[in-house]
Amino acid sequence: MAGRKFSGASLWPWLALAGVVIVLDQLTKVLVVQQMRLGDSHYVLPFFNWVRAHNTGAAFSFLAGASGWQRWFFTGVGVVATVVIVWLLRRHAGQRLFSLALALILGGAVGNVVDRLIHGYVVDFVQLHWGGWYFPAFNIADSAITVGAACLILDELRRVRRG
């Protein structure tokens, strides 16, 4: 156990951050489901609409047209990712940027797994667009995963520079 940069308690702030992401993600999705019907779209800003969309696939609706097996496949991937991320957080909780990245990815992954288990699809509601081009709708969980991935890249770039 020599060389570890954490104490058992240092895991908890990262799990708490993941929990905040999950709660915010689920609360926003509940609001969307209660207030909008599938396919509704409301103009907010010239580049932003509030929509209600359902994604049975993964990022950018990958495998959305499959026959239903993808629900359980992506749920399983999310569960495996959760276990691996918690294990990594335990080992590297003292590495702030790395752990921040993992906590954001964990919160996002669990938020989308909850949707798959409850609804069979992920509820998306943020739609960005510009000049007739529309980015696929996404949610808080997707945003957390994206920011977490960017933080992982930044952490690795910083590590390589130091090395």
**Phi, psi angle pair for 52, to nearest 5°:** -125, 115
Q: Are 123 and 31 in contact (CB under 8 A)?
A: no
- Which one is catalytic: 25, 40, 115, 124? 124
155 has catalytic annotation: no
Contacts of 54 (CB under 8 A, 6+ apart): 38, 119, 121, 122, 123, 124
Which DSSP symbol is given to 59? G
115 has catalytic annotation: no
Contacts of 120 (CB under 8 A, 6+ apart): 56, 68, 71
**Phi, psi angle pair for 114, to nearest 5°:** -55, -45
Q: b/e map of 87-123 (b: 16 or more CB within 10 Å)?
A: ebbeebbebeebbbbbbbbbbbbbbbbbbbeeeebbb
- Which one is catalytic: 25, 115, 142, 155? 142
Catalytic residues: 124, 142
